[in-house]
Amino acid sequence: MAHDHSHHDHPHDHDASCAHAHARAAALPEALATAQAACAERGVRLTPIRRTVLEALLESHAPLGAYEILDALNAKDADDKPGESKSGRGLAPIAIYRALDFLIEQGFVHKLESRNAFTACPHAHAPHDLVAFLICDACGGVDEVSPAPLAQAVTRMLAQEGFAPRRQVLEITGTCAHCHG
């Protein structure tokens, strides 16, 4: 069972000393390398903008909306060269959305429909595997699990119904062990 221990604090309550934030940061280089290798193997390109969006999501231990990603990238761009961005202008929202579409299609990012936000996926599962997100109402944290028995049960149910899924994402809201315990 894949389990993402990179528990997220509420987006407006980041704690850099959080063990989950450290785990997420430690996974970043390997997750980027895995994405790069997967793209090469699949014959697709992890362009600079796609890589930058993925990196922004990997750096955050909270799910981000598209405009939050845009703001973070434009702020980072301005920090790199004060007074001017690398491109000479801010990134356009359409560039972020196109990058997110690619990253979702490749299985590197998931969209949390209930939050209209995106979270990086450091796991090496197939792009269309069943993924369950445990979303904490108290802290905004998101844990990702892919339990084989659940996936098998859903696959059987879909086959019985003759339904061909395009995407399989299950969102479960409640209180995480950190907040509950």
15, 7 contact by CB (below 8 A): no
Is residue 18 a known part of a binding site? no
Indicate the angle between helix axes 93-105 and 66-80, nearest 10 degrees: 110
Is residue 61 a known part of a binding site? no
Is residue 139 a known part of a binding site? yes
| Measured distance CA(53)–CA(104) in Å, rounded | 11
- Residues 121-153 as b/e (b if ≥16 CB within 10 A, e otherwise) read bbbeeeeeebbbbbbbeebbbbbbbbeeeebee
Is residue 121 a known part of a binding site? no
Binding residue positions for Fe cation: 125
Binding residue positions for Zn(2+): 136, 139, 176, 179
Binding residue positions: 125, 136, 139, 176, 179
